[in-house]
Structures are given as structure tokens and as C-alpha cells.
Chain A
Amino acid sequence: MLFKRFCFASALALSVSIPALVAAQDRPTLNFAVDNLWPTMDPVIGISTTGGRVHSNIFETLVQRNYFEDPDGNELIPGLATSWERTSDTVWTLTIREGVTFHNGDPMTAADVAFSLSADRLWGDAPMAPRGASFASGLVRVGAIDDYTVELETEFPDATFIARLTTPIGFVLPKDYYESVGTEEFGQNPIGTGPYRVVDFDPSTRLTAEAFDGYWGSDPMFSSISWNVISEYSTRYAGLVSGEFDLIVSIPTDQLSVVENTDGVNLLVSQVGNYPMFAFNTLDIDGMEDNPIMDADLRKAMVMAVDMDTLARALWDDATYAPTPFNFPEYGDYHDPDRQATYGYDPERAAEYLARSGYDGETLRWHIVRGFFPNYETAAEFMVEEWADLGINVEIRILDNFALAYERPFHLLNMSMSSEFTGDPYRPLWLDWGPGSNRVIASHRTWEPTEGFLDAGQRFARAQEFDERYAAYMDLLAEWEDVMPAMYLWRNVQTFAMRDGLEFDPGSTQVTVFDERYVTLTE
């Protein structure tokens, strides 16, 4: 039992005299059972769903997205930066919060911010955390002006660059400590400014973090939080029912009703900004000269042949739906619930496009990584049947890992796309499909952006006003749909189960933060 039962009367009496002490003693612990932990806790090297469940409790970003008042997180609020302004067309000046200390006692200053965003760490040649490069793209200079002022200069005027500081590159890490121990050691013994400090980390068993007494913000809610790796769902469930865990994640779809009907346990099913999809291999490289899927009419026929929305709702018991391309709720003003897909479900039109294409009954291979996403393989089987009805032969190949899935020949390749980034289509449409993206440069690349797409992307990245950006976004979308290099399946669903007395709701983000904004204790 985590929440120690204590005498309310005496706690109340004591709280009048020495509130801080009592708070520290009576704070409950939070035991969270997760399915996995990322091997390193460096928040950029370890960008991942499993890492995101920990990072924001240990580290803090310069700017935050307000998920607690707006579930889609479309408003930016101060984090470790108290304010920001554009001091010239290409320069953002940040004021850094004073009185913040790292878990090792070092004060946080502009030097730490500059280090965290530096070329050495993120965007130079051979950086320490190369996965940060795409998040930091456009950055050309980072400088600490004084102890609490930092300047960020971008290659061209970028009106929305500040939103990038809500992503993992916005986490501020301690320069001296990081440089003295190196990336690997930092990933095992991470230090941040967050409300909890890591006291024990073994990637295959557990991460334990204790309340950090020197935290600048309000007192941490829990005396400690542990993320326990319990890979087997039934064991997570058993731990929740028996009181070992307060919160568990990832409940299989067929077990949702069981959890719902369990006494003392509550279920949370919510949509998140992440989309399972598949890419069409539109290229003829690596011995695929006769690749039939290079024909855009065939791709459009396949997309129009599937009633994705009905399928998604049936598989997920109405917990989610199939969005029209790049029209996601977490895009704020860019989102239009009434917009129709240019190539939506339409069997007759699909048959027309198929007849027009040069497809001649060749077998198309769909590479799927085993257990990649809940319901993905089931959905694939349905889709293959719908395509077969139309006369398109698709063969599913279930493979053990991405390395095998990336080996050609394949015509369809499973993937997922996160749209959780800056609250606009910048990442999912431009970064994920643009000229520097894996879709274009990796060994498993699947398309070559059109001239029109590249042009619209440049306009989108450089636009200063919303209207201009919106127009460029619509052009990007039209170019993308005209090529149809992929099909998005549904908005992903995340599930939590928690004990009575604990109410937790992260909104549409897969990042879990355990503070009073997202957690309520009712016991």
C-alpha cells in the first residue's frame, strides 16, 4: 500500500505549526508500472515514448505547452525561461529563471541553457546528441549574454521557433556535470532541475526518483516516484489490483472491459498526438526497377478502397477515429474538423483509379514489425481483404525488428508519426516528409519530394504571418496528397489504469508529469 494511512487529526494539528516538515513526511509515494524504460535518460538521446514518461519529472524545458488547461496543448507558457521576445528578425532573446538549482546543488544559469542548445551538443558536426539536429534545425548561433539572458539566432526569420523549446531540446542540462561525466554516464545518472531527482536507475528494472528539496517551484506532490518495468501486462494488472502499484500503463484492447469492471481501479483511455501509418515505397532503388507501387493512381486506389474510419472505430470501440491527412486536433488553428480528404473512402472511384493504373496483379509486400502497435496487424488483415476485393494483391510480412523491415524489396512499410512537437504541422508535414527527413535520406527512404512540395515547405518555414503559413500548409498538403506517399491509419490511443483515490490525466500527450496540474489525490 503506497499511501500510508495516517492520522488526519494529528497531521492537521502539526501542519499548523510546521507545515513544510509535515508535507515532507506525509507525502505519498507513487509507484508506476511501465512496460519498458529507455536505456538512457539523456532526454535527447533517449527521445521515446517510454523516456517521455520520466523526463519531464527530472528535467524541465525552457518553454512548456499548457496541456492541463487545453488538452491539445496549443498554448505556450513559461518554463525555465520566464519570458522571450524577438529582438531582431532572426534573434530570439530569452530571460532565464533565477533561483533555480540543479539536483547536485549547482545554480542554473544562461551558460547551462547555451550548452544545452549548443552546436556541440545538438546541431554541429558529430554532436553529442545527434537526434536533436532535426529539432534544432535552423539554429545558427546560441549565446549567453549574461547570467540570465540567452540569445538564439536562426538562419532565417522564424516566427514560431520558440515553440521548439517545448520539445526535448528545450530541457536544460547542467553544463559542468554533463561535460565532466560524458553522455553515457549522464544517461545513467542524470541531473536536471525538475521536482524529482534520480536516486536509482537500472533500465531493465526500475527508475526511482525522490522529491528534490531544492526545487524552485511548489513542493513536489510525492515523496518519491518509481517507474517499475513490468513487461507482462497481467503482472502489471495484478500489481495494481493488489495495491503494489498506483498506476499502470498500456492495457490491451481486449482487456479494457475487464479493467473497467475491476473494483477499486479506474481506467483512462485517451487519444494522443501520434499516428500509426504505412509508407508507400514510391522509389525504384535497390533493385526495384519494376516497382508497381510507383504508380500514384494505384496508391490512390488503395487509399480510397479502405473505409479506414469505420475500421478504426470498430477496432478501438469508438475510442479513436481516422483523421484526414495532416488535419490533427493538436494543430490549433490549422485544424479544421470539417475538412474532407481529397482521396477519401470511395470504392467506385478506387476502381476507376485502379483501372487507370498500370497495375497488373503483382504481389505487393507490406513489411510490418511484430507487435509494432496495438491493433495494427489486425487492421492490416482487414485492409488486405478490402484490397483483394478490388483486385490488388498485398502480402503481409511480419518481421522481428525494424532492421529486417527496412530491407527491400517492400512496397508498404509500417511506421508511426508523432505530431506532438510544436502545435502546428511543422514537424509531421515538413520535418518528417521534407528534404532532411528519413523518408528522403535514410536507407529505407520511400519518396522524393516534388518541386511543389519543397517550394511550399520553404514558404511554410519562412512565413511570418499565420495566413501566409496557412496557405503554404494547404499547398504542402495538396502536393503530398497528389503524390500520396503514405496512408495514416488512426489517432493513437493510450491507456492507463489507476487505483481509487488517484486521478491522473495527461491530456493528449504521451509525456507524463506527476504534479498538481495533472494529478489529483482524493484520499
Chain B
Amino acid sequence: MTRIILFKTLRAIITLLVAVTLVFLFIRLSGDPAVALAPPDAPPAVIEEYRQRLGLDQPLWTQYLSYIGGMFQGNFGYSIHTGRSAPSLFMDRLPATLLLGLTALGISVVLGVTLGTIAALRHNSAIDRMVMSFSVFAFAMPNFFFGLLVVLTGALVFGVYFGGSGATRSLGQLLAPAATLGLATMGSFARFTRSSLLETLNKPFMTALAARGVPFRRRLLRHAVPNAAIPVVTMLGLSLGGIVAGAVVTEQVFSWPGVGQLLIRSVETRDIAVLQFIVLMIALVMTVTNLLVDLLYLALDPRMRGGRNG
């Protein structure tokens, strides 16, 4: 057991290191970063100054070692443009991203689970088909397209601005991007809930409960739901991990001042330290969430403890 946990933790650390290394390399291989971050007309002297300030004149492995070394000392570098530390810029944006992500997740879980339950209970009815068609639509609709529809409809039909970054603050400015973001996951939640609940409802123990005369409400809430919830809870756990990455497209469409917007901006302006830190944080949260889910399985399911699934 301890060996499995150690092994999985080690694997998580290697995953992180690989992610960090790939980002480090990609930024430096997709065109000279010193040229990319300087203005298009910048004279060679300016580009050279950037190169020296960023240490880009050093051999690649020297840069890599000093980056990794700095990381272990808690130094994640500074924004080349603003001079602020990468973690502080990231932390500035995190609350907005969490607010948007959690609201979106809330919307998608509540609506998705409700719709999925209704569809399972009314299996093969018109309602079931409607819910399932809607979930396919929700899943297939591209975020940016739906977001633009929401923004434009809000302004042209209702005279309301749903984008962020303006002077006003309203609930609509949170709910509109959150609904856009939640729409796709809502579809997944509805489908997962429906299939999981259907499977549980058809299990022999449910028939046995019915034969014993247990009322339907009790059968559903006390017996079916907890059993059907396992895959849905797993999906919830994984979705939580994804929130920190921000919603790059949705944040861009709605001008939501979150991590996703900072990520795009850092790519555009080749703000290397900030970019590296954001990717590191996303990889960290994803890896840790996956690790936790793995460990949770170990605790829940004795069959997983055999060691061969590691």
C-alpha cells in the first residue's frame, strides 16, 4: 500500500517536471523570445538588452538549470514588462477565475444532475429524448460561439452588457460567462447521471427493495442515488482541477479578468516567467487532483490495491 502511494506520488512529480520542461522548451523554440517580446520595429540594441535581462544569451542547459534551481528556492521569476513576480500576478487573477469556475461548475452540476435524473426516471420518454438532445447540443456548441451569442443578444435585445472589464458590476456579468462555461459540462453531467442512475435502477438489489415494498422515494434517494453518484463525483473532482486553468476562450470573449486572460496575454507578449508559472500551476493542480482521485479509489475499492494497476 505504502509502495503504491509512493509510486504514484513519484509519478506525479515526474509528470510535473515533464510539463515544466516542455513549456520551457516550447517557449524558446517557437521563434527567438527576445525578438518576439520586443516591438516589431525595435532596434537590435533593444533586442540584445532583452536577451541579456532574460538570460537568453546563456546556453539552453544553463538557462534550464537556473530555472529549475530557482523554482526549488521558490523563485519563479519576474514579469519582463511589469517587473512583478509571476506568482503575485497569478494570485491577483486567481479569485476571479475561481469565482467564475465555481459558479459555472455549480450551474452545470445542479442543472446537469437534475436533468440526468429526470431523463433516467422517464427513460425512453419524450422528456428523456429532449434532455439527451439538449445535452448533445450543449456539449457540441463551441464556447466562443455561444458566448458571442449571449453577449450580442444581451446588448442588442435587452440593452445589457454582459462582458467584464467595464465600469459596472452586475450579477449578469458573472452569470452570463458562467452559464456559457457551464453549458458544455452540464451536458456531460446530464449524460453521466442518466446512464449511471439507469444502471443502478436496473440492478437486482433495486428489484429486491421494490419486492420488499420499500416506497419509491426511499428506494431512489437512499439506495439508488448513493450508488449512482460514484462516477459523477469522480467527474466533479476532475472538473475542479480544471478550474484553475481558467476558461481561456470564455474569459477572452467576455473580457473576464482571470487566469485564462493572463495566460493569453503572456503568450502574446512572451512574458516567459508568467507563462511558465501559470502552466506550472495548472499542471500542479491537475496532477494533485489526479493523485487524490487515485488515492481515493485505493481507499474505496479493495480491488485496486493489488498493485498491478499502478
Contacts and interface: CB of A to CB of B under 8 A. Distances in A.
Interface in B113-154: 148, 151-152, 154
Contact of A400 (B30, B162, B257): B30
A244 B167 contact: yes
B36 A403 contact: yes
Interface in A409-454: 415-416, 438, 441-443
Given A134-B43, A238-B154, A244 B36 contact: no
A238 B253 contact: no
Nearest to A46: B39
A81 B155 CA distance: 46
Contacts of B221: none
Interface in B1-59: 30-36, 39-47, 49
Interface in B150-167: 151-152, 154-156, 159-163, 165-167
Interface residues of A, number: 51
B309 to A, nearest CB: 41
A239 B165 CA distance: 10
A231 B33 CA distance: 23
A399 B46 CA distance: 23
B252 A232 contact: yes
B169 to A, nearest CB: 11
A402 B269 contact: no
Interface stretch (A198-206, A323-331, A337-345, A479-487): A198-206
Given A235-B255, A403-B36, A228 B165 contact: yes
Nearest to B33: A403
Contacts of B168: 244
Given A234-B148, A242-B160, A403 B31 contact: yes
Contacts of B269: 39
A243 B83 contact: no
Nearest to B79: A39
Chain B, interface SS category: loop
B196 interface: no
Contacts of A438: 41-44
B154 to A, nearest CB: 7
A202 B262 CA distance: 11
B254 interface: yes
Contacts of B34: 403
A401 B257 contact: no
Contact of A232 (B43, B45, B253, B262): B253
Contact of B45 (A133, A231, A245): A133
Interface string B251-276: 01111010001101100011100000
A245 B271 CA distance: 29
A441 B148 CA distance: 45
Most chain A CB inside 10 Å of its own CB: which residue of B40, B49, B254: B40
B31 A231 contact: no
A404 interface: yes
Nearest to B45: A130
Contacts of B43: 130-131, 133-134, 438, 441-442
A232 B253 CA distance: 6
Contacts of B33: 403
A443 B152 contact: no
A31 B161 CA distance: 13
A404 B31 contact: yes
Contacts of B84: 188
Contacts of B83: 184-185, 188
Given A232-B252, A242-B160, 15 more contacts: A130-B49, A133-B45, A184-B83, A188-B82, A232-B253, A235-B255, A238-B151, A241-B159, A243-B161, A244-B163, A404-B30, A406-B32, A416-B40, A438-B41, A441-B43
13 contacts: A2-B167, A130-B43, A133-B45, A134-B43, A184-B83, A187-B81, A230-B255, A234-B253, A235-B255, A237-B152, A238-B152, A401-B30, A406-B32
